[in-house]
Structure 1
Amino acid sequence: MPEIIEANALQHEYVRHNEEGEKVSSFMALDGVDLTVEEGAFISILGHNGSGKSTLAKHLNALLLPSGGTLYVGGYDTSDPRNTYDVRQTAGMVFQNPDNQIIASVVEEDVGFGPENIGVPTEEIWQRVENALRSVGMWKYHSHSPNRLSGGQKQRVAIAGVMAMEPRCIILDEPTAMLDPKGREEVLRAVHELNRKKRVTIILITHYMEEVVDSDYVFAMDQGKIVLQGTPREVFSHVRRLQTYRLTVPQITLLAHELREAGLAIPEGILTRQELVSALLQLKSCDLSGQGHAISDVVESIPEDGDPGGQGRSGTL
């Protein structure tokens, strides 16, 4: 697959000046980031507050420009102001609070606002609006006021508003942070559907480790650098290393890791309840140490995938 995003030694320095315009202090939020994303992939970016992940997201939409290095989005150099329009046509942005993106009093008018602003013909606008709302399962609310919608529904409308611009890539900067579990589920289902059916490239920045499990690839950031990358299974196999970066793992993965450290022959990188149960039952069937009853008790106590009590969310995030 072709690459839609390519960053090489990307840097971003925040500089504070005094009233005379003199440099007082600076902070390197991105420090030599190398990253490639294939078109049609579902990518997750993890990191504690201040790790640089949201700064990186803003670069992908040309909201920020590089202090050093290069970033190409859809083949366009983001550091060239002449490419800003094309970059934003390629990569749309969805933020944490949908109320900050919804501006119209009717859902379909809000979704049509972006295409109208870029000069799309009226007939095509309404076709795009319908297609986008159907894509996120919100067409039946097209004539409703956004104020009557739940948080998850509002976020899906915000995603539809970006979809109506027909981007090749959507960047979601902590889109579920303000939602309840039901709202998180709605939004995640919608973006995965867009990725699978429309082949829209998804870049998800999230606080919730369970949201990362179904990604194609994961980047973990710390102090402006990418410190770990790979498939979810590869990344979550490094439980102790992630903890040094103030990150956690899904609860099922952590439970499997602790059982392994306690002496059970369980593989690292387990991601789902089904995988852990299968591994334990296999151990039980081969049990030669009389631990079968203990293994059965562990199986019974394993929480369901997505159990609110099992959310692998880091308190430091």
Structure 2
Amino acid sequence: MSDHKAQETGALADRWRTNTHVPVMPAEVLELLGIRPGGTYVDATLGAGGHASLICAAVGAEGRVVGIDWDPDALRVAHGRLAEWGDRVVLRRGNFRDMGVILRGLGIRGVDGVLMDLGVSSLQLADTRRGFSFRGEGDLDMRMDPSLSLTAAQILNSAEMDELTSIFGQLGEIRRARALARAVIKRRQIAPLRTVADLAEVANEVLGGAGARRLHAATNVFRALRMTVNAELENLRAGLEEALRVLWPEGRLVVISFHSLEDRLVKDCFRRHEGRRMSLPEGGQRVVFDPPRVRILTRKPLIPRADELRMNPRARSAKLRAAERVENGA
């Protein structure tokens, strides 16, 4: 590693420590993954490596953990954090929708568990240059993978009224989405929106500040743009299917989501693959349509305990769902 890269990685690690990254719902994750000593597990959203470190400890010396993230900054920080586990862990850059390709490249035919901890990471929020937080001073970038073609600024400064309204209304769940889209277009006619402060100012003018609400008005605006830039819902749909494909029978998929759109996708995926059973007149049931691929382990999503929220307020909106791959699933 060059001196420049070493200094950059050290700075990233300092920002991570300053913001005290803590893995969300760690006990629940380990329990529902059903860690088997000697097993193979995937942390498909590696981040700073908090969950992966716990999984490494649980699988033992014969186990293996594959960490995947498409953010090179996250991989550099996680590499330092996970160095103590040596060959027990291997890190790869990529999107979880490409999990199968990544695993085949490592000679891994199947795995015993997959974790997906969705959304933006503490590390990304801490780096104000990248534009994920409306409290920063950086440019409107928001790319989790720097090689992606479109930034948030490019979308804001080029999208038509209907597209912006859809982004703010559907992904941000903002009631005054059209008024916000109109204000963005009016603002960019004067000067392009380039910085976090530019967008936060427009959002505040249209939607108001935090006021008595729990969330600042700009929170959902930034979330909607981030999800658009990174095609998060499209990748999640594909990633969930990919995770089910790579699991061995009795392997488990654990997903932590942070807002209703993600949680709904996870819930619908699990229900769809659970199979549908029809009661028979003579008693019993039979499967209709496709055979079941999973057994749902969490009928209702788990949420963080009160003691965790006291220590880690950022976990407040987390919802965890889990499912187990069944033997006869295709």
TM-score with structure 2 setting the length = 0.24
Which one has a larger percent helix, Structure 1 or Structure 2?
Answer: 2
TM-score with structure 1 setting the length = 0.24
Highest RCO, 1 vs 2 (Cα 8 Å, sep ≥ 6): 1
Which one has a larger percent strand, Structure 1 or Structure 2?
Answer: 1
